[in-house]
Amino acid sequence: DQPAPPQTLLPPWLSSSSGTTTVRPSSPSVALSLSPSTATTGPVIPWLQPERGGRNNPIHLGSLPSFGAAPANGNGVVISELLESCRELEEGHHALAAHKKEAAWRLKRVELQLESEKASRRREKMEEIELKVSVLREEQKATLERIEVEY
């Protein structure tokens, strides 16, 4: 029984070996083979998987291959779509920030207008009350003069 060759940590299209790597499990009746041109498993997207070599390594978009190094098996289209989606997301964030800024400005203007209207209504009410007090004082003065004249 031969020891299994070391598994590559790179995606198939970045692997320097152009041949097929065979992984031999403990059971001699089952063998897995990986080749750069065929996919034997489900839709695994290698560049979305965390890089090997440490549990705390974050995934960086900078680790994606450039367009020139894109593989011929369709992942270049996926990368292109991902980058386009990132651009659209960034544009959306900018639009949302601009909308939020404009909405805050409009809200502030409405608040100032409301405060101004409240102050105006308060002044009008005070003027009405002062006018009524003035009229009542005049009536009181006239009534007192009439009482003084009668007695």
Examine residue 28 and state whether it is found in any structural domain, yes or no.
Answer: yes
Mean residue pLDDT of the chain comes to 75
Residue 94 has pLDDT above 90, yes or no: yes
Domain that holds residue 5: 1-51
* 37 found inside a domain: yes
Q: pLDDT digits over 6-56, tens only? A: 555 555 555 555 555 555 445 455 555 555 655 445 555 555 555 554 445
pTM for the complete prediction?
0.39
Residue 122 belongs to some domain of the structure:
no
**Mean pLDDT, to the nearest integer, of 118-123?**
98
Tally of structural domains, the chain: 1
Q: Is residue 29 part of a domain?
A: yes
Please state, as a whole number, how many other Cβ atoms lie within 10 Å of the Cβ of residue 45. 11
The verdict on residue 145 lying in a domain is no
* Confidence check: pLDDT of 146 > 50: yes
Residue 60 has pLDDT above 80, yes or no: no
Is 40 a domain residue? yes
In this predicted structure, what is the pLDDT of residue 27?
A: 46
**Domain-embedded: residue 117:** no
